[in-house]
Every structure is written in C-alpha cells, then in structure tokens.
Amino acid sequence: MDTIKAVFKNKSVMKKIGFTLMIFLVYRLAIFIRMPLINPLQFQELFESGFLGIMDAFTGSALSNFSIIALGIGPYITSSIVVQLLQMDILPVLKEWSEEGETGKRKINQLTRYLAIGLAFVQALGMTYGFQLSSGGGLFAWGEPNFLTFTYLALVITAGTAFLLFLADQITMRGIGNGTSMIIVAGIIAGIPGMFASMTSDYITSDTAGLASYATFGIIIIVYLLVLVGVTFMQSANRKIPIQYSNRPGSSKFKGKQESNIPLKINSAGVIPVIFAVTILSLPQTVINFIPQIQATNFGLLLNEMFNYERPLGLIIYITLIIVFTFFYSFVQINPDKMSNNLQKQNAYIPGIRPGIETENYISKLLFKITVIGSLYLVAVAILPILAAIFFGLPTYVQIGGTSLLIVVGVAIETTKQIKTDVQGKSYSGFIK
C-alpha cells in the first residue's frame, strides 16, 4: 500500500503510466482495423482451438479479426530468439557485437528489427495464402486474387508489425516496462474479460444452469486463483549462492545481513521454452490446417497424432520439448564458465569451493538441479489447460494456466520492480537535496 500511495504522489511515474495506457488504447483501436479486400466471416472458425487459437490470444484477437496488426509482435520475438542463439559462437560477428557494450547492443537491436520485418513479410504472405486455401477460395470479398494481391496484403500486415514495434519503443522510452512485453500482455489481458463473460453465460445465466454448473464455475475460479498465486511465487523464487571477497575483511557480527550472494532463478529460462515447443509443434499443424487435402491421408493423420498436444503422443513430445529447451536456454542465459571467471576477476569465491574449475562445476551442478524443478514447473503450467479440457471437458476458451499466464505474471513482476525503482529513486533524490 505504501508503494501504491507513493506512485500516486509521484508525477513522473503517473505520467509514464498514463502514456503507457494511451499506447494501449491506440493498440486496441488498431485491432479493429480490418484488412482490405477480405471477407472476415470465412475464417472465424479456424480460431476455436489449437495453435491458431493460441496465437490469436497473444495478438488480442487481432489475428481472428484479420486486422492490419494480425501478426502482432510475434516476428520480433522470433527474430530476437534467432539472433540470441546466433551469438553463441555460430556467427563470430554477432559474438563480437555482443561484447562491444552499448555500440554492439545498438547494432544487434537494429539487425533484430530488420530480421523481424523480413520475417513478418514472409509470414504474412504464407498466412494470407494459407487462409485462402483453407477457406476454399472464399477469403476475398470479390475477384480472384493474384500474386500482386497477396503481396499487397503482406506489405500491409508487415507495416502493421512495424507500427507495433514503434509503439513498443515508445513504451520502453517514455512509459513503464519493456514495450515489447507490455504489448503482448495487453493483447492477452484484453481476452480475459471475454473468457469470464463466456463462463458466466455458460455456467451461471444459461437456461440449463444448475447446482452442478455453479459448483464447476466456483471450482474454476478457485483453481485459477491458486495457479496465479503459484506461478507468481515460482517466477520470483531463486536459489542464492553465497560469495565472499578475499580483499574484504569478514565479520561475523554482520553475518546473514551483509553477505553477498548470486541469485539463480528457479525458472531462469522464462517462458521461452514453452514458446519454442509450441512453435515447433505448430508447423505441421499449420500445414494440415492450410492444406485440407492431406488431413484425411495417412501422412496427415500421423502428423496430427505426433504434433497435436491434445493427443497422447503429441503431449509426450510437447513435454519433452519443454524440458529440453528449458535446460538448453537456462545454460545459455547462465554460463557457469563465464560466471566462474568473473568471480576470479573480482577476487570473489564461493565458501568451501576452490576458484576455477571447481567453482564452474559447482555452479553447473546447482544450475542443473534447479533447472529440473524449473522445467517440471513449466510443464505443469503449460499442460494444465490441456488436461483440464481432456479430463473435465472444459471449453477451449477456459485457460487455467498456460503460456499466457506465465507471460502476464512474469511481465507484471518485472514492471512492478521498475515502478518501485522509479519511486524509490525519486525519494532518494529528494532526500539528498
């Protein structure tokens, strides 16, 4: 409550919050600007479930509306992941840029944006053509489309993605939080009231509503809140590695209060492993959805069994991919060798562990242990809505847990920290004056 009161008293922070809300309003208005030449009624049914339904949730229903920002900020996320992976000694130039400080960071950001624009154009072209195939040729309101028609629509959608990147940059510079993350969260949160309104209509106010439906509604709300609390706790949980400095005298008087430590997050990979896994599973599913001719073939049935996480084999592959990517990305984010070298340069050491290779091995083993917990946590949250739909017959719009909740909670925690930092910075400045 003290922090909330301090926020309302801080004009600078309130201006940032107001600016962010204004950008959100512009973003929401852009969702309802539909693409030209398109018949919107032809592809609404494609977004009832599956990968397209997930992507539609990330874009705040912009995809199902086929608006000018139908791709959302997705191409930028994909390009960021690709560029980050290429910095791991795959492209020496990118590794050099990553070590050049602010200058290198600006070069990498520029490259990421160029790659995002290129990916957006390719995705928009393929998506528009795929919708045309899956709708049986009835996507366009009039006339037969040609290559120029698809290119024109792809350019409009690419421009929409570029516009979203501009809005995200404005939030980062003048608003609260990371602009890219805030745009994604705005799209996800926009769909939450609709989910609860549909639940109320189906379980409370419908003609068939009864004691059983009332109980189901209450259980869903309770489980949703429990999952929200659990995700918040796990996103903030960390394992602290105590360190000491050889050039600083120890003092048992202050032991436990002024000890230095390195916090390792239980879930250091964030939501990236789940996004990776969903993306890989989505590719064959997208092909099946966009080319109806192969759906009834043996090949199409095999693809659906392997890459549909609502099927047993697909669910096993989905869980395996999340675990593998969690370990991979955790060790990319936290390099034990680099951390050991940095400790040596700072004349620091872990009590009871020799500097050098022993410190590196200790950090590696500890990171492996906490990543086991983190990967199982990610799996539990990711498959919870799938299991709820399979075993309890909940509608697909009821999302208890899932990728969306992970993103919202993670961004909310980081944004809250930034707001506290801004408020405290103002207080310290006034105290010094």
Tens digits of residue pLDDT in 150-195:
899 999 999 999 999 999 999 999 988 888 888 888 888 887 887 7
Fill in the amino acid letter for 297.
T
The answer to whether position 307 is within a domain reads yes
Give the H or E element holding residue 117: helix 102-134
Between these two residues, 16 and 74, which has the higher pLDDT value? 16
| pLDDT band, residue 255 (cuts 50/70/90) | very low
Q: What is the pLDDT of residues 189-221, one digit of tens each?
A: 887 887 788 888 888 888 777 888 888 888 888
Structure tokens at 26: 């512009």
Same domain, 217 and 322: yes
* Contact call for residues 307 and 314 (beta carbons, < 8 A): yes
Q: What is the arithmetic mean of pLDDT over 35-56?
A: 64
Q: What is the arithmetic mean of pLDDT over 358-370?
A: 91
Same domain, 130 and 196: yes
For strands 348-349 and 260-265, give the pairing.
Answer: unpaired
Q: What is the arithmetic mean of pLDDT over 411-417?
A: 85
DSSP code string of 306-344: HH-TTSHHHHHHHHHHHHHHHHHHHHHHS-HHHHHHHHH
Q: Which of these three, 151, 170, 202, is where a domain ends?
A: 202
- Residue 105 is part of which domain span? 13-202
Q: Residue 264 forms beta bridges with which residues?
A: 239
Q: What is the arithmetic mean of pLDDT over 27-36?
A: 88
Percent of the chain past pLDDT 70, that is, above it, reads 83
* Contact call for residues 295 and 308 (beta carbons, < 8 A): no
| pLDDT band, residue 249 (cuts 50/70/90) | low
- Domain count for the chain: 2
Same domain, 154 and 235: no
Structure tokens at 139: 């996507």
Predicted local distance difference test score (pLDDT) of residue 160: 93
Predicted local distance difference test score (pLDDT) of residue 257: 44
Same domain, 392 and 273: yes
Listed residue (379, 375, 374) closest to 403, CA to CA: 379
Q: 203-207, 266-270, 334-338, 369-373 — which one is most confidently predicted on average?
A: 369-373
The answer to whether position 162 is within a domain reads yes
Same domain, 421 and 301: yes
| Residue 67, phi then psi, degrees to nearest 5 | -85, 180
Predicted local distance difference test score (pLDDT) of residue 320: 92
Predicted local distance difference test score (pLDDT) of residue 215: 87
pLDDT of residue 401 exceeding 80: no
When the pLDDT of each residue in the chain is averaged and rounded to a whole number, the result is 81
147: burial class by Cβ within 10 Å (0-12, 13-18, 19+)? exposed
Of 27-36, 75-84, 265-274, 279-288, which gets the smallest average pLDDT?
Answer: 279-288
The answer to whether position 4 is within a domain reads no
| Residue 316, CA distances (Å) to 17, 217, 404, 405 in order | 42, 29, 21, 22
| pLDDT band, residue 391 (cuts 50/70/90) | confident
Instruction: Give the predicted TM-score (pTM) of the model.
Output: 0.77
Predicted local distance difference test score (pLDDT) of residue 290: 62
Same domain, 392 and 408: yes
pLDDT of residue 319 exceeding 80: yes
Beta-strand (E) ranges in 325-391? 348-349
Structure tokens at 205: 């106010």
Q: Residue 263 forms beta bridges with which residues?
A: 240
pLDDT of residue 355 exceeding 80: yes
pLDDT of residue 431 exceeding 50: no
Residue in this structure with the two tokens 């009832």, named with its chain if needed = 48
| pLDDT band, residue 10 (cuts 50/70/90) | confident
| Residue 242, phi then psi, degrees to nearest 5 | -70, 140
Same domain, 273 and 377: yes
CA 262 to CA 388: how far, in whole Å?
38
Of 137-146, 270-279, 337-346, which gets the smallest average pLDDT?
Answer: 137-146
Predicted local distance difference test score (pLDDT) of residue 136: 65
Structure tokens at 49: 């479930």
Same domain, 31 and 145: yes
Between these two residues, 381 and 249, which has the higher pLDDT value? 381
| pLDDT band, residue 373 (cuts 50/70/90) | very high
| Residue 240, phi then psi, degrees to nearest 5 | -90, 130
Same domain, 238 and 152: no
Percent of the chain past pLDDT 90, that is, above it, reads 14
Predicted local distance difference test score (pLDDT) of residue 272: 79
- What 8-state DSSP symbol labels residue 35? P
CA 307 to CA 284: how far, in whole Å?
7
The answer to whether position 383 is within a domain reads yes
Between these two residues, 314 and 392, which has the higher pLDDT value? 314
CA 227 to CA 224: how far, in whole Å?
5
CA 424 to CA 9: how far, in whole Å?
12
For strands 348-349 and 238-245, give the pairing.
Answer: antiparallel
Q: Which of these three, 184, 202, 220, is where a domain ends?
A: 202
- What 8-state DSSP symbol labels residue 146? -
Domain harbouring 53, CATH code: 1.10.3370.10
Q: Which of these three, 202, 225, 247, is where a domain ends?
A: 202
Same domain, 215 and 80: no
Give the H or E element holding residue 243: strand 238-245
pLDDT of residue 425 exceeding 80: no
pLDDT of residue 278 exceeding 50: yes
Residue in this structure with the two tokens 């961004």, named with its chain if needed = 411
DSSP code string of 236-300: H-EEEEEEEETTS---GGGTTTS-EEEEEETTTTTTHHHHHHHHHHHHHHHHHHH-GGGTTSHHH
The answer to whether position 2 is within a domain reads no
CA 348 to CA 262: how far, in whole Å?
11
Structure tokens at 21: 């809300």
Same domain, 237 and 186: no
The answer to whether position 3 is within a domain reads no
pLDDT of residue 430 exceeding 60: no
Q: What angle do CA 190, 75, 65 make, to 5 degrees?
A: 40
pLDDT of residue 288 exceeding 60: yes
The answer to whether position 255 is within a domain reads yes
Same domain, 55 and 122: yes
The answer to whether position 185 is within a domain reads yes
